[in-house]
Copies of this chain bind each other. A is one copy, B any other.
Amino acid sequence: MTEKTFAFVVYPGLTTLDLVGPLQVLSGYAAGDPSVRVVVVGETRETIGTDSPLQIAPSHTFAEVPDPSWVLVPGGGGPTLRAMADGTLIGYLSRAAAGAELMTSVCTGSLLLGEAGLLEGREATTHWMFRDLLRAFGATPVARRWVEDGPVITAAGVSAGIDLALHLVDRLAGPDVARGVQFGIEYDPQPPHGPLDWDKAPREGLQSLREHALRDGLADAPELRKKLLAYA
């Protein structure tokens, strides 16, 4: 018997791993817990593009899942900024939040939660390159892997969604089950050059990527652009 529905929200151009990291963890967990249903929701069930050559299609439409218990929205570059002006998407997040137990995001997905009015007065995080922009939504940016503030949990960039999702499994079913899922996806990370050394972050190189994302993504949304650029 389904007691909780976990809706992963998709929109054109999203960053594929933002979505699939946590989706793998939660759908792996749900395979062993019939009370949890995992769905992928989009405006329609049509196939859409991502930031990679992979095309994806949701399992359900927004209209079919009006009252999810938990929601996760992935981020991306220019297309995610563009999605800030997508009234259907932002409306879904905003309406879902009214009844949901948890609203979560990965990477710049938090900008979409912000635009839906969910970050006002909260601590939040996002991809490290975009962190200061969270102030445009009344949020206090925090440099952590994920930030939990009441019913809103925001994760850092891209791969951070895997850690967030293991934390969600822990919350659902405790640490032993979360460790079991971690063994299932053999999540024993060994980056070839070790963990990131933040003193060596390529801030200037990636700055141009961010400017491009803001310019390209918000070309048709001058008000949003102004709002974000005030904090850039």
* Assembly CA distance A17 to B22 (angstroms): 9
19 residue pairs of the A-B complex, CB under 8 angstroms, read: A8-B53, A16-B20, A16-B23, A17-B24, A20-B21, A38-B53, A40-B53, A54-B56, A55-B57, A127-B186, A159-B162, A159-B187, A159-B188, A178-B192, A178-B193, A179-B193, A182-B193, A187-B191, A188-B195
Q: Given A16-B23, A20-B16, A20-B17, A159 and B51 touching (CB < 8 A)? A: no
A-side interface residues, number (CB < 8 Å): 60
Contact residue among B23, B156, B170 (Cβ-Cβ distance under 8 Å from A192) = B170
* Assembly CA distance A128 to B186 (angstroms): 8
* Chain A residues with a Cβ under 8 A of chain B: 8, 15-17, 19-21, 23-24, 27, 38-40, 47, 51-59, 107, 127-128, 145, 156-160, 162-163, 166-167, 170, 175, 178-180, 182-193, 195-196, 200-202, 205-206
Q: Given A17-B21, A196-B182, A189 and B159 touching (CB < 8 A)? A: yes
Contact residue among B27, B38, B192 (Cβ-Cβ distance under 8 Å from A166) = B192
Q: Is the CB of B159 within 8 A of A185?
A: yes
Contacts of A127 in B (CB 8 A): 186
A16 to chain B, nearest CB (A): 5
* Assembly CA distance A39 to B56 (angstroms): 14
A65 to chain B, nearest CB (A): 11
Q: Is the CB of A193 within 8 A of B175?
A: yes
* Assembly CA distance A162 to B17 (angstroms): 10
* Assembly CA distance A55 to B52 (angstroms): 15
A64 to chain B, nearest CB (A): 12
